[in-house]
Structure 1
Amino acid sequence: MKKCCLLLIILCGMFSCQTDDLNTKDESQNPETPGEGEPDTSASVKGFYLLNEGNMSMNKASLDFMDYETGEYNRNVFSEANPNLVGGLGDVGNDLGIYGSKLYVVVNASNKVEVLQAETGERLKQIDIDNPRYLTFYKGKAYLSTYLGAIGDPSAPNGIVAEIDTTSLEITRRVEVGRQPEELLAYNDKIYVANSGGYSPPDYETTISVIDINNFTETKQIEVAKNLHRLNIDSEGDLYVTSRGDYYEIPSKLFVIDTEKEKVKKSFDIGVSDFTIHKDIAYMYSTEFSYISGDYTITYSMLDTQTETFLDKTFIAENYRKLIEMPYGIAVHPETDDVFITDAKDYVTPGNLYCFTPQGELKWSVETGDIPAHIAFKY
């Protein structure tokens, strides 16, 4: 099944995909019983939303919510909160984030960003924009990377970063970057954007665009490697960016970029599909595919971002790794240090979410929607 899904993953993976019929049932699961391992309800984190990407062209994106106060995991909360909206959340959920009292959900193939009340999940506004990808927040604004052009079109124009005012929910400014821009972040009055060029292999992009937020212009392109994707920053202001290579002879790698000098300072010969940085540790996994071998290699790693060295341990105990067929998303609870891994399985059935303790032991698991991928904590 993995090999059958592979072509879609590579060609359509630039806009995320996979799975079958829409599950309209509202389901609650109880992974945690109050008083038995549940975080203290007086803590600041009250729960988290999980965005299921869903299969492209199947209108299967969905939103789940884990409520720490009740211990319940609730599926399809967008449809429940917005029963009069025809079609549900839409086609291919690609990213989400909470800023203030609002939840922003990027729905790639539906060409929109849904802005919801974070407390209830009710829609406040739909922002229409072509082929949106990822978002970040900075000083009262949301910044959105978008491919522009038709999905999969090798002649698509350069992408843009759009600025969204988080009060008016209007797009206020736009700036052109590279082709098919992926993850982005804002730091020290600049936005860094990983360009991929994924619609026109082997002519991939190789740079990170640097945007000056004040005048909203691209001031520099940092040369890194082919087909960039994930982007994160550590406590010292160093960027960590992943390169997917070309899936043939150029392997995936991880790069560290000095934001003061704006150039690569270090690289690691390791594939990273997704990662998050928490308390100076990068938690990462790789599901690297090679056309040469025709198979995946799945690994889990931890890197100390202060020493820039890999640790000799990982965040999942060895005996639990076989539970996860296809890791597809990762997050770390900001207070308990629990590690969350989503499992897309075969991309055509509902996935799973696994919660591991800081010691790597399985704490609980639940069934999710199709292709669970992105988590945003609610405070």
Structure 2
Amino acid sequence: MKTNFYNFRALFLALVAAVAFSSCSKDDGPGQLPEIRSGFYILNEGNLNANNASLSFYNFENESVVADFFAQKNGRGLGDTGNDIQIYGSKMYIVVNASNTVEVVNAKTVKSIKQISFVDQQKQIGRQPRYIVFNKNKAFVSAYDGTVSVIDTASLVIEKTITVGRSPEAMAIANNKLYVANSGGLDYPNYDKTVSVIDLSSLSEIKKIEVAVNPGNVTAGVNGKIYVKSTGNYGDVKPTLSIIDSKTDAVTSSKEFSGSSMTVVGNKAYFLKSGGVMEYDLLTDAVVKENIITDGTAIKIPYGFSYDNVTGEFFVCDAVSYSGSGIVYCFGKDGKKKYEVKAGALPGAVVFLNK
């Protein structure tokens, strides 16, 4: 009986090891293990043409913040204008707009794996990458030259470049389609007003959907809906929130709506606004709270918003000024400040690191 017990134990451990090994596949996507946070990264955009984009790291264990974390780990700066940051699998991707690069690093050590160039070699001009999203083993990067590039997350090679609308910004995925907000921002005042739809099977644009002027933020929400936040022309055309049904690609709703940026969490959306963050119910299409901050904490220049789905905490990035250091505030579910972290210049995004 004892021999059988140890044989069974050995077999069990072998099966556990096999499962663990199989989880490390070529498709470098998110794992299924429970999420336990070790800290978070802050992408500090920096000032345009100042070459001072940076990465900060806040450690939950010792409640300390490390500034210029990327530079410390790699002996060089991050570059000019950090615009987006995402963790996918074991890698972290940092989109550096004016430097025309996507930095790919080990998510835990921040050691560089590869710097992907976004320079059009034929035209010898920078593509100006903006945002990044993921689907299966592909990364999709929008760029101001009117393209979305497809990167294989295993080889980190750009496999294809898809032409979309003018000055594309944020992207969202629903029903095996990629929705790309074409702002036309570089053609001011002649803005674009379309959302490109890319079929994720053929990796080609299949249509453009007309929305309000200057769409910049697009997010997938409940029931297959796509929410598009358009800024307008900063004059007589006001900001607008449009809703697209991803099953039919029809615009089902469009209304004037204030608030910048947009983050969807379940049935709620959160919009940056003067002094704080607005909460909006997507099911009733109504404002729930004009400001989720309940303790009077003043946000001078709201510059970024993140939600931790593990802890239920809200993180608000405050640029404070457009020249000095910024602050990231952590708020609990009750809207009260739990702590604040000193950041670099123009903190714009927070991403959470698991143990």
**TM-score, normalised with respect to structure 2:** 0.85
Computing the radius of gyration from Cα coordinates, the structure with the larger value is 2
Alignment match, 2:319: 344
1:101 aligns with 2:76: no
- Find 1:356's aligned residue among 326, 331, 337: 331
1:90 aligns with 2:79: yes
What amino acid is the match of 1:376? V
Kindly provide the CA deviation profile for residues 59-82 of structure 1, in whole angstroms up to 9, marking residues without a partner as x: 100001122233222221101111
4+ runs deviating over 3 angstroms = none
- The root-mean-square deviation of aligned C-alpha atoms, in Å, is 1.5
Kindly provide the CA deviation profile for residues 207-227 of structure 1, in whole angstroms up to 9, marking residues without a partner as x: 100001221211111110111
Residue range with higher mean Cα deviation, 303-312 or 348-357: 303-312
Superposed, 1:124-203 pairs within 5 Å as 124-129=113-118, 130-148=127-145, 159-203=146-190
SS at match of 1:319: coil
Kindly provide the CA deviation profile for residues 147-180 of structure 1, in whole angstroms up to 9, marking residues without a partner as x: 12xxxxxxxxxx1110000000000011100010
What amino acid is the match of 2:183? S
Change (3 A) 1:184 1:43: closer
Residue range with higher mean Cα deviation, 62-71 or 42-51: 42-51
For 1:97 and 1:200, the matched residues in 2 are separated by 28
Contact 1:315–1:339 under 8 Å retained in 2: no
Contact 2:95–2:102 under 8 Å retained in 1: yes
Contact 2:175–2:246 under 8 Å retained in 1: no
Alignment match, 1:311: 288
Unpaired stretches in structure 2, ≥5 consecutive residues? 1-33, 119-126
- Find 1:281's aligned residue among 261, 268, 277: 268
For 1:275 and 1:56, the matched residues in 2 are separated by 23
Residue range with higher mean Cα deviation, 47-56 or 164-173: 47-56
Kindly provide the CA deviation profile for residues 323-352 of structure 1, in whole angstroms up to 9, marking residues without a partner as x: 211000001111221111111122011111
Alignment match, 2:6: none
- Find 1:377's aligned residue among 348, 352, 355: 352
1:239 aligns with 2:223: no
Unpaired stretches in structure 1, ≥5 consecutive residues? 1-41, 149-158, 288-297
SS at match of 1:360: coil
1:63 aligns with 2:60: no
1:272 aligns with 2:249: no
1:262 aligns with 2:254: no
Identity %: 40
Change (3 A) 1:346 1:43: same
Deviation of 1:267 (Å): 2.7
For 1:331 and 1:145, the matched residues in 2 are separated by 20
SS at match of 2:296: helix
Greater strand fraction, Structure 1 or Structure 2: 2
Kindly provide the CA deviation profile for residues 230-258 of structure 1, in whole angstroms up to 9, marking residues without a partner as x: 11111322111111100011111212211
For 1:188 and 1:262, the matched residues in 2 are separated by 10
What is the aligned residue count?
313
Deviation of 1:284 (Å): 1.3
Contact 2:280–2:289 under 8 Å retained in 1: no
What amino acid is the match of 1:338? E
Contact 1:174–1:216 under 8 Å retained in 2: no
For 2:84 and 2:140, the matched residues in 1 are separated by 12
Contact 1:223–1:263 under 8 Å retained in 2: no
What amino acid is the match of 1:217? S
Change (3 A) 1:95 1:43: closer
Contact 1:254–1:272 under 8 Å retained in 2: no
Deviation of 1:312 (Å): 4.1
For 1:212 and 1:318, the matched residues in 2 are separated by 45
Deviation of 1:188 (Å): 2.3
